[in-house]
Structure formats: C-alpha cells, structure tokens
Structure 1
Amino acid sequence: MLYGANGYTGKLIAREAKNRGLNPILAGRHKEAIPRLARELGLEFRVFGLETPSFILESISQADLVLHCAGPFSQTSTPMMQACLAGKTHYLDITGEIEVFEAIRKHNTIAKQRGVMLLPGVGFDVVPTDCLALNLKKYLPDADRLLLAFDARGGPSRGTALTMIEGLKTGGKVREEGMLRNVPFAYKTMEVPFVHKKLWSTTIPWGDVSTAFHTTGIPNIEVYGATRKSTIRMMKLLRPFRGLLGTRLVQKTLKQRVARSVTNPTAKERAKTKSYIWGKVLNASGESREAHLVLANGYDVTVEAALGTVEHFMANDPEPGVQTPARILGEHFIRTLPNVEMRFET
C-alpha cells in the first residue's frame, strides 16, 4: 500500500510503481484526489485518515507492507506505524526528521515481537547518505567521527517546505559521544569540497544524525547543508527567536506563505538538477577517508530508492525490528539506482 499517494512525491512514486508493474493499493485522506489518481492508473484505492486507529488497521489489512509518504511525519508516522504493528504489516516511510527516527526506534522490541519490520527513511532522506556512511566506515573501521554534507539542487516541494517549517521548533542537532545534542541554528560552518566545487555549508538537523549512528556505530556525527553565507548569517540571527518560531501563530503564518508561494518542481526542472553528497570519517589517530556521491534530483532519488526498497522486500524476507537502509539493504544498494556515481578519495 502507498499512503499519501496524492502528494507530490506520492504521485511520482505511484506512477513509477505502475510502470514497474508493482500495482500498489493507493491510499490517503483526500476523497477526490485518491480515486481520481487510482482511476488514471487502473489501481485499487482506499480513502482514510489517520485519526481512528481501528479504521487505519482495517484499511491496511490487505497489505503486507505500507510505504508511508504523507508528511509532516512528525504528525502522521505514529498512527500509521502503530497500526502496522497491530496488523503485523511492514512499515516503510520517506521521512528525514530526526524526531521521527528516534520515536520509531523506541518500538524496536515490540516490532521484533510482532515480526514487523520498521524501516523509516527510504528516500533521498536517508538512503544515499546512509550507504555512503557505511562505505566510509568499512574503509576506516575505527572511525569515531563522521561528517556528511549535501548540495541538493532544485527547490523543495510544498510538503518538504512544510516539514522544514516544522523543524524550526527544535533547532539544530548533532551527535556527540553517541548522544543527540540540541545546538543552535548554524552551529558550525565549513567550506565543503564537493566534487563539483567548494561550497560554504552549515550544520542542519538531517536524519543521519539519528540513523548513521545505528548504521555505523560512529559516535560523533554532523550533517551539513550547502547554503549562502547570507543565509548562514540569517540563521545565526534567528537563534534567540527559536521559541517564537515554534509557536502556533508563527507556524500557521509560515505554512500559509508556503501554500501560496511554493510550487512543486516540474519534470523538466528535476531533470536539470543533480544532488551532490560528500562524506568524511576520521579516527583518533588523525587518519581520514573521504568519498563523494553524484545523483539525480532528490525527488527522483526518492522514487528510485523507495521502490527499489519495496522490490528488495518482495524478493527477500524483511527482518523484524527497527532497521536503517544501509544496514538492511547493504552499503552498495545505492549503486543499484540509476545515474549514481560514487568516488573515493585516495
């Protein structure tokens, strides 16, 4: 089942799934959009919201696996995950939110008891970076520090922009000595040597701060996003106002602005843009290893990664418990996706 099929990313996944002959049940809360898309693609559908646990459970009862694509996941993941646990249905999603990864991890024991796999983050967040991190760890097994950075070209979809606004409530995050630590906006900055050019980047609360620790065991993790120096200065100026940014009024105002001004990227726009990822591991002796990934636009990577994961578990039994992409799919899974280039610095 594909839940959230009427969203921007959900539609991309639904259409590609049909092209691959996967024929998922399309689902979501919108009474008009879901049936319309299902008729277009010739697929079954279910219309349901996430307010009533018994109704969710009944609605997913015919599915062996749910690919959950309806954000913001901070609001939607828990009810869907709990229904999957109750119904012994495997759960995948495309979140990139640290709080969601951490909340799902708390259900590891019950997931194993129920024989259910919980695998969040099977899109651009966090499949490429998770695979890169595990590759680097295997090149430097005693690494105790991991740095990841990305330059994702092209604008966000409305759904991604809304998720970013949700993230303003919590500020930044890094992992130090195995523990998550709250830090200010733009906590650290550095000039990252991406494969195409050096770019100023700043720490961001990306999902790998949570997941890469469980994939690699590396206790110190920072994730950087490429951005303009002017934006970094603005982020620093916002530090005293983090509490205000999380208030209901400010959140509502920002989300309304997104609804009015953010347009989803077209296929032509996506085709023109690439994503660049850089990673570095270091050990206590000062040794280091670096690597690069060059990929398609983030939304196209999400489609390929999510459906590639589904296809993997159509051919292989899912492993119960809370999983991370590279740990269960392998560090070379990213190489199975189209238009991916991986380079290691010598």
Structure 2
Amino acid sequence: MKTQLSSHHEDKDLSTLNFLVTGGAGFIGSHLVEYLLKYSAGKVRVLDNFSTGFRKNLDSFWQYPNFELLEGDIRDLATCRDAVKDINIVFHEAALGSVPRSVNDPLMSNEVNVSGFINMLVAGRDEGVMRIIYAASSSTYGDSTELPKSEDRIGKPLSPYAVTKYVNELYADVFSKTYKMELIGLRYFNVFGPRQNPEGAYSAVIPRFIKMLMKGTKPVIHGDGNYSRDFTYIDNVLQMNIKAALTDSSAAINEVYNVAYGQQTTLNELVAEIKATLSKLDPQIADIFPEYGPERAGDIPHSLAAIEKAQRLLHYRPLFSFETGLRETVDWFIKEGEAERTTPLVEL
C-alpha cells in the first residue's frame, strides 16, 4: 500500500494557485494531480489524449469540485491555449516515453515531444503562465560515461527519444531568455511506483518484472543484466516537482535538475530484490530466474545521478530509497491483483 504523501509545499497556500498537468492520466502525472488535490490546490486541470494514460487513473479525482479534464492533444496549439487559460503553473508531463518506441517511430516521438512541447511553451507565454515545470530525461546524458552524471556535462544522444528531450531543454533555455519565462526542467531517472503500467511493448522494467514474476513467468533482461540504473521512487519525483513549482529563489529558476535518489542498481540486482520481496508470499518465486536477450539499441549502459544541485538550490531531500520504494510498489501490485487472484501467486 502506498504510504501517505508527505507535504512538500511547507507554508505555501496552494488554494491561491491554478495548476495544469499535461499527461495527467499517466503514471507521474496522475500522482501529481493526486498531490495537488490532496493539498487543496485552487484548480487542477488535466490535459490528456489517453494515448498512453488511463481513465482509471483519474477515477478518484472526480469527487473534487476543483478537478477538470480537458481531453485533447498537445500537438494541437488551440487545445494547448484552452488548457492554459487561467492557469498559474504547468506541470508538463505529456510525452511519448521509451527509447525503443522512438527507435521504431522517430517521427511520432518528435511530433509529440518536440512540437507538442513548443505548443505548450507558446500557449504558456501568450497566456502569461507564471511557471512551467517540464519533464526532461536522464537519456540526455547519452554516450557520456562519467558517473555520477552531473547536470552541466552531457554526451551525445543515443536515441531519437533522447534527442527530443534534449531539444526540450534547448527550447526552454531560449524561451526563458527571449520571452522572460520561468521554466524548470527535471531530468527523471527511471521513475517507478504504484499505478505504473506493466503491459505493452514499451512498459517500464520494474512493473513489468513484478507482474511477470507474480505470474510465474521468467523476466527478460536485455544484455547480461549488469547495466545499471538510478531507480527513483515516485514520491521523490513529486517532491522535486512541487519544490520546483513553488521555489522563490531566482537562482533556482530556469535551470535543469537531476531527479533521482543517487544509488546505482543493476538489472540483476533489481530482479533479485523483487524476487526476495515476492517470495515471502510465495516461496516458489525464488526459483524463477531471468532470461537474457540481446542488448537494445539506444540503451545507456549505466546511469547514476548527482543530486547535489537539487539539494542546494531546491532543498531536495529524497525520502524513499530504492529498497523502500520497491517494497511499496510490490505491495501495491499485490493488492491490486488480489481481487482477481484465487490461487497462489505462482503455479509452477
């Protein structure tokens, strides 16, 4: 079960602010919406076309009179203009994620992630939106082998997706200087947590592995399992978004930040950790071992974030370690599956 959200807005009164969350039916976006509604934000509007988000993620929000849904696509400028009307702060989470997806369809990734982003910037500029917090990506570090990865030193992108996310940062920098806008980019490092989609070809690795192991299926690892990631629990990401949205520090605005815990975990270690948690419920899961396949094009071998900049300028203090977050996530998937499960977790 997901723990109660911690308050990261300190003494700020959210009721005086109206928020837009693009991609608000998605994994990260819906958690942001949940936080804003829980802490009495003035208006919370979601813009989503449900291409990767889910209506069920919004089900619990309709009880709030200040919740609004605008169904539409960020690739349409008129829709973006409608979305930002009377909005103070935008959380721009709408994007087509996934490196493999971008390798398979670079045109679509560019349309959504670049053209859609510019539409939001132009709409926000013209409406006089106070600040836009946008989802950047650790994929921007590209072929840089330096660890930990520091915001001011990046390599060349390794995938179309990485190009789109880097272009977002470049446009944000230009718009901040040319139009005096307040823009903050958050380079997410492998975010995970409850409500993350485990299904489909482009699903994230943690929910996919959890579901496969619960079903008694061998998880498939691309490569030898020694690639590593800085897996980051969703509540740490919420904290960064809220702090970025509400900071009064001029030094903190128009910057890009790593959003991570600052710990390296290999895919082999990830599988072992999930197995250890699940096998307490069903010992047979301990006997399931992963299959290994070819490496995927565009994947970064190792990822570990330096988080000192966020700590210094935004007073970011990640509260959830990888291990704690993983237990929360596994618990959520178990509870979600209990209603439909009448047999043990695994039948071998």
- TM-score (normalizing by structure 2): 0.44
Where relative contact order (Cα < 8 A, 6+ residues apart) is larger, the structure is: 1
More strand by share: 1
- TM-score (normalizing by structure 1): 0.44
